[in-house]
Amino acid sequence: MTDRKEDLLKGTLDLLILKTLELEPMHGWGIAERIQLFSDEVLRVPTGSLYPALQRLLRKGFIVAEWRTSDNKRRARYYALASVGRKQLKAETDSWNRTSMAVNQVLRASL
């Protein structure tokens, strides 16, 4: 836990949230945990950004929220991907792939 955690690149948080929710509906804490887990503890989601981002995605209609009972019998707000969000995820994934490929290409460049 003392390892250096990479801060999230601006704008990628939304993409990661959408991707996480594509797997299954999840509450805020779970989303943060999963992103950390999937990135092998490299990416760390600051809660100060997570909840505003969720609110933003709700407003844009990419995700929907619903109160449900969690695994440990607690009431929690679960977020799920909406159909618009699914399209958005696809578009953003493509765009991310293009960008990262391009960046990698530049970094690998040699004369």
Partner 1 sequence: MRWLRGIAHRIKMLSAKSREERELDEEIQFHLEQDIARNVAAGMHVVEARRQALLRFGGVENTKEQVRDETGVRWVADVIQDVRFALRSLRKTPVFAAVALASLGIGVGANTAIFSVVNGVLLQPLQYPSAERIHLIRIDNRRYTAPLSAADFLRWTEASDAPVSLAGWGTHGFTMMTENGAEVVNGAWVTSGIFDVFGVSPIIGRSFTTVDDLAVVLSHRFWRSHLGGTSDIVGQTLELDGQRYTIVGVMSQDFRLPGRAPGGIWALRRISEPTRRGPFFIRAAARLDRGKGTERLEQHMRMVEGLVKERYSGSTAEWEYVALPLKDILVAGARPTLFLLLAAVGCVLLIAVANVTNLLLARATVREHEIALRSALGASRNRLVRQTLTESAVLGVLGALFGIALAWACVEALGAAASSFVPRMDEVSIDGWVLTFGLLAGVAAALVAGAVPALSVPRYRLSEVLSEGGRGRTAGVRRGTVRRALVVGEFALASSVLIVSGLVVKSLVRLQSADLGIDGVGVVTFVPSLPSDPYSSPDVWDSFFATLEERLRALPGVREVGYSSSLPPDRLNVTNNYVVEGEEPTPDGNQPLAEWIPVSERYFATLDIPLLRGRSFAHTDRDGEPEVVVVNEAFARRHFPDRDPLGGRLKGGNLDPSKPWMTIVGVVGDVAYAGGAAEGMSPTVYTAYRQSPRSRTPYVLVRATGDLDAVMPQIRAELTALEPRAPILGVATMEQLIWASTSTERARSSLLSVMALLALIPAATGVFGVLSYHVSLRRRETALRRALGGPSTRLVGAVIGEGLRLVVIGVAVGFAGALAVARGLTTMLYEVGPADMTVYVGASAVLFAVAVLACLVPSISVLRLDPVAALREE
Q: Which of the residues 90 through 109 are near partner 1 (CB under 8 A)? A: none
Please state, in angstroms and as integers, the Cα–Cα distance from residue 104 to each residue in 88, 95, 109, following that order. Answer: 24, 14, 8
Nearest alpha-carbon partner for 46 in 2, 96, 5, 1: 5
Read off φ and ψ for residue 50, nearest 5 degrees: -60, -55
- Which segment (6-14, 18-26, 47-55, 89-97) binds partner 1 by CB under 8 A? 47-55
Contact at 8 Å (CB) between 96 and 15? yes
Q: How far is the CB of 103 from partner 1 (least distance, A)?
A: 29
Token pair listed for 99: 């960008």
- Determine which residue in the list 42, 52, 66, 91 makes contact with partner 1, applying CB under 8 A: 52
- Options 55, 83, 95, 104; binder of partner 1; rule CB under 8 A: 55
> At which residue do the structure tokens 């699914």 appear?
86
Q: Which of residues 68-87 bind partner 1 (CB under 8 A)?
A: 70, 72, 74-77, 84
For residue 2, state whether it binds partner 1 (rule: CB under 8 A).
Answer: no
Chain contacts with partner 1 (rule: CB under 8 A): 27-30, 46-49, 51-53, 55-56, 58-61, 67, 70, 72, 74-77, 84
